Chain A
């Protein structure tokens, strides 16, 4: 009997969903999709495509998820119309998982917390940050609206099997360093197309030491290196997160020890300091101590990258008993309704409000220059979001810097980008 070729976790999940024993990089395969996601920006086009294709019914009413999160609560009439398209489609198709304002939040924080994405799943979403779910050991990638429309109709989609890039992190973490610093450092190293078309497999002892929140942050920004997906082998932390949430069976995959990689890159975590991505590209990364004196007008803590409870906790630890710089606005956005509620119970919101922050309901709003913190010409924002392209948060003449919640909170106090140590002595 022919011996099967050793495979990576990504190849194994794709093979399983293509009904094949094995797959190889470059191969075009047709896969069964476990879950398909759309939001208020991408789903209207997907629904239009679905209807134009002649489809009448979604492939599975539990497996098509619609989350209005980008411009909600509706910021204007046009946004309200887009949300209405989702709402009516969800009703017509009797979708189980339509998340209305008040029950929802930012899709990529919401879906894992709801137990909708599980290890071994194949998930697609019409949102580039769908790669977030690789943190639980799923294959998960972003597609456009027409692909989403086709999946809603058929439950299937074609893929090209990606090569895998193995990223190994070892050593001890420095104080105030979190997943955001790992991923910014990595993007700074390999560039915004350093993993183009590839699966980014995050591994090593330093990764195993990271909480799920940090892993979500890392997987979330795989797209910022051009990656098709970011993925982590499930471990104890994964299972602790997934078990109480899962409502259906799931499967744990891991890479074979002799699996083939396009490249293997190793990073010494002890050399990673808090990172900042300077305008106008996420790979323009420096150690926070090396950015110089950058005064800022606005700080945003939130988004699908860093709006989770751990992110708010670290920000609150820094902001407790302090005031933000008088020249600056701080916007804090808990990513979901549940995170919001928990932050309230823990007293985090009180800390933010006392520091002079505004706390927004869950929304993607400012990250993409939608609303709730759009920048004027010449303004500068430090944000825990994922992209700092020109004009991303507003006027083409504004600037966006990216960092972790710890750096963002400390910088809000100082009024300029700084290391958390400048504000809080010990951890």
Chain B
């Protein structure tokens, strides 16, 4: 699986209220959520983000609430992948459950710049900055979580495998 996109750079501790403010959580329609993604944090983002774009962040991306509306909203605007130094744990689970690829790489988070074109090769766990012509390696992801990405999230994964009453 390969992805390519333009980078939007964010700082550390980007919280889920910043990704999608709670005042829009009286519904969960991805199209509605997409209208307000990063609204308070970076107002231009929702207008200028393009399908395939990649988010780059410092540490603890997605901290705060458990709202799955956060990865859902990012996916709805076409974000293909988030690369960060680290992720808050609930957001990390939610991202994979929604089929949103999350990669941890300290080096990439420090080196890649806003607007760079970046290619991700999931099989090789490789992050390639095409603008700077630099290559980084992402932390390993457990096999079954990779399956979630390939299947497009936990729901499709379960539908494919069948729901086991355990």
Contact = CB atoms under 8 A, between A and B. Distances in A.
A161 to B, nearest CB: 13
B158 A53 contact: yes
Interface in A21-47: 28, 30, 41-42, 44-45
B55 to A, nearest CB: 18
B105 interface: no
B154 A150 contact: yes
A282 to B, nearest CB: 9
A144 B97 contact: yes
A42 B67 contact: yes
B133 interface: no
B63 A156 contact: no
Given A53-B159, A370-B22, A396 B88 contact: no
A89 interface: no
A412 B12 CA distance: 33
- Chain B's interface size range is 35 or more
Q: Is the interface of B mostly helix, strand, loop or mixed?
A: loop
B93 A144 contact: yes
B153 to A, nearest CB: 7
A196 B60 contact: yes
A193 B25 CA distance: 25
B13 A391 contact: no
B67 A41 contact: yes
Contacts of A45: 28, 68-69, 72
Given A41-B67, A368-B17, A78 B27 contact: yes
Give the top 7 A-B pairs by smallest Cβ distance, nearest first. Answer: A144-B94, A396-B40, A144-B68, A368-B22, A78-B26, A146-B97, A193-B60
Interface of B: 13, 15, 17-18, 21-23, 25-28, 39-41, 59-60, 63-69, 71-72, 86, 88-90, 93-94, 97-98, 142, 144, 153-155, 158-159, 162-166
Interface of A: 28, 30, 41-42, 44-45, 48-49, 52-55, 59, 70-71, 75-76, 78-79, 81-82, 125-128, 130, 142-147, 149-150, 153-156, 158, 192-193, 196-197, 223, 226, 228, 281, 368-370, 374, 387, 389-392, 396
